[in-house]
Structure 1
Amino acid sequence: MFKPFQTSRAITGPLYLQIRLHSTTNQPKFGFALDIDGVLIKGNRVIPQAQRALRLLNGENASGKKIPFVLLTNGGGVTEEKKAAQMSRKLDMDILPSQIVLSHSPMRSLVKKYKDTPVLVVGGRERSCKDVAEQYGFQRPIQPDDIHHWEKSVWPFRRVTDDEAYEAQKRYDFSREPIEAIMMFHDSRDWGRDLQIMMDVLRSKNGMIGTQKTDYSVQDTPVYFSNPDFLWSNEFPVPRYGQGAFKTALEAIYKRHTGKELKSTSFGKPHRATYEYAEKILTSLLPNNTPLQRVFAVGDNPAADIAGANAYGWTSILVRTGVFDGKGNSSEFPAKLVCDDIEEAVHWALNEEGLK
């Protein structure tokens, strides 16, 4: 395997401080933020140019210099450690957890407020997002499976299997257990059920499922989304609906039921909090946290990758290997440059910085 940036000291401290370039006086003052889906991989297939592009960043360029980079994705549903291991296998090179920024990574900031209170964590396979929430420090994460097992009539259209109900031994009583917040960590695996349960919480009295308030002038339960992507790409020739589409559905149901607009907070690209978090990681890769003078952000989704990079002041590069495959540039969210693939994008950026 190709080796990434190595630390010269023991790994300690926060996740984003686990990796640092060797201290030299001639390190690059720029870095890369690379999207994953549609840039490096498409479904389960590695985009051919991806490995060559990452080798360039790992020092296999004319200058021999390693360039700091993070994988900045609106994907998630697993821990940063699991995602790093997954990407290492697919790309045949070592990717460290501290090079991974998932859509829900910045939601660590919510732990201080909700650490000891029940929160509904939505999305992902089985209990994967519950595991993520617990690793972040949430002490009482609850998932829709828990509520469904507590009261099967909540969603009578699907049976709760033994595999889904292994948390049942805790025997939650949600008639006595108010939910303080809703956090969507990843795409729902059952839109109908999860929309129903989220609405059960939102229309309840102070988060107590099974109750129903009559005054909706104040929204009692905060809602947080990790990924605003309306569309995403995989092997299927037409883009798939993402968490942004789920959010649209929830907003429509909430408006129809209450007559009010749903209030929510969103993380992930193109939102600023995600770029601030990613910048901390990139900065930590250089000696003494040297500020980066330029960041090249490579993505395939104009509404997420390009809009966010432009708003944050990064140099945006749009590639045609994912959601965007049109001629020319995006008309709504134009990038600084449009390339056919990630390899072309990296070559252009290195040339811009004088590292041919």
Structure 2
Amino acid sequence: MMKASNFACFFDVDGVITQGPNPIAVAKPAIQTLIQLNVPVVFVSNTCMLESEKAKQLSSILGVTIHPEQVVLAQTPMRTLTDFHNKHVLVSGQGQAEEIARMIGFKSITTVEKVCEAFPELDMVDHMNRVRLSEMIRTQGLVHDEHFRPIEAIVLLGEPIQWERSLQVIIDLLLTDGNTGVVSSDSNTFHDHILIIACNRDLVFKAAAGLPRFGHGAFLTCLETLYKVNYFCY
């Protein structure tokens, strides 16, 4: 029986193990050799997806079995934020963002879409929503969800698809202490806003395009800039 190694190897995935969907030439045999030698291997990536899916993806690419416990992704450290797991949080991201948030421990979750359903006047970038809102006000007045529970923290797992709507709603929540249905007279007085927990601050990343692509860090930069502009102009 081969003796266990007294050291371990951590590898970044993008640009080290893979280039896009394909393994880098020397990476596959190197990882296979390390595993044959019983060297513990951990893979690190700024992507935000289920660790189990990333493990399956790496297993297929590398031709060896990679377990979810060997994968550390952008959201993985949030498992340690147990003080926030029982708070009512807004989760922003794409794809399986809600499922990912629950997997890392958050129990009470809402989304930008659900906030817009509770407060239909928030999303004015969508011109069709302007039409729907006008019809609502004409026929029944402005209707809010009276049972909406204020947001206690905002969890940003990755850039959303509709940046403009997410930026608007998140800033609304920051300026109203998590409840856009209650706009106090001192909202423009300096005070701490509800907490933002964000992963993956990479401004850009390398993809198939010739130039770098905007990442979650670009969204966070927009959010910070617009918050400052809105705060001092509000």
Specify the TM-score bucket, using the shorter chain as the normaliser.
0.7 to 0.9
The within-5 A match list for 1:12-23 is none
Distance 1:44 1:211, change over 3 A: farther
The 2-side partners of 1:35 and 1:216 are apart by: 44
The within-5 A match list for 1:75-94 is 75-76=47-48, 78-94=49-65
CA RMSD of aligned residues (A): 2.4
Distance 1:154 1:92, change over 3 A: farther
Question: Percent identity at matched positions?
Answer: 29
Displacement of 1:175: 6.8
Where structure 1 has 5 or more consecutive residues not aligned to the other structure, the ranges are 1-21, 60-64, 161-171, 261-356
CA displacement 1:290-309 (0-9 Å, x = unmatched): xxxxxxxxxxxxxxxxxxxx
Higher RCO (C-alpha under 8 Å, 6+ residues apart): 1
Displacement of 1:116: 2.8
Asked if 2 retains the 8 angstrom alpha-carbon contact of 1:185 and 1:226, the reply is: yes
The 2-side partners of 1:95 and 1:177 are apart by: 40
Match of residue 26 from structure 2: 49
Displacement of 1:114: 2.4
The 1-side partners of 2:202 and 2:43 are apart by: 17
Distance 1:210 1:97, change over 3 A: same
The 2-side partners of 1:73 and 1:233 are apart by: 13
Q: If the length of structure 2 is used for normalisation, what is the TM-score?
A: 0.82
The 2-side partners of 1:132 and 1:68 are apart by: 25
Q: Does 1:118 align with 2:91?
A: no
The 1-side partners of 2:20 and 2:181 are apart by: 39
Distance 1:139 1:114, change over 3 A: same
The 1-side partners of 2:20 and 2:53 are apart by: 17
Displacement of 1:87: 2.1
The one-letter amino acid of 2:87's match is T
The 2-side partners of 1:199 and 1:229 are apart by: 21
The 2-side partners of 1:255 and 1:45 are apart by: 42
Match of residue 208 from structure 1: 179
Displacement of 1:212: 3.1
Q: Does 1:248 align with 2:216?
A: no
How many residues matched? 216
The 2-side partners of 1:226 and 1:212 are apart by: 29
Of 110, 121, 133, the residue aligned with 2:101 is 133
CA displacement 1:174-201 (0-9 Å, x = unmatched): 7731000001112222211111111011
The 2-side partners of 1:132 and 1:54 are apart by: 27
Match of residue 197 from structure 1: 169
Asked if 1 retains the 8 angstrom alpha-carbon contact of 2:119 and 2:145, the reply is: no
Match of residue 137 from structure 2: none
The 1-side partners of 2:146 and 2:215 are apart by: 29
The 2-side partners of 1:228 and 1:216 are apart by: 28
The 2-side partners of 1:118 and 1:93 are apart by: 40
Of 141, 151, 170, the residue aligned with 1:179 is 151
- Provide the secondary structure at the position in 2 that maps to 1:237: coil
Distance 1:197 1:136, change over 3 A: same
The one-letter amino acid of 1:139's match is K
Asked if 2 retains the 8 angstrom alpha-carbon contact of 1:229 and 1:244, the reply is: yes
Asked if 2 retains the 8 angstrom alpha-carbon contact of 1:147 and 1:174, the reply is: no
Q: If the length of structure 1 is used for normalisation, what is the TM-score?
A: 0.56
Match of residue 75 from structure 2: 104
Q: Which runs of 4+ in 1 moved over 4 A?
A: none
- Provide the secondary structure at the position in 2 that maps to 1:70: strand
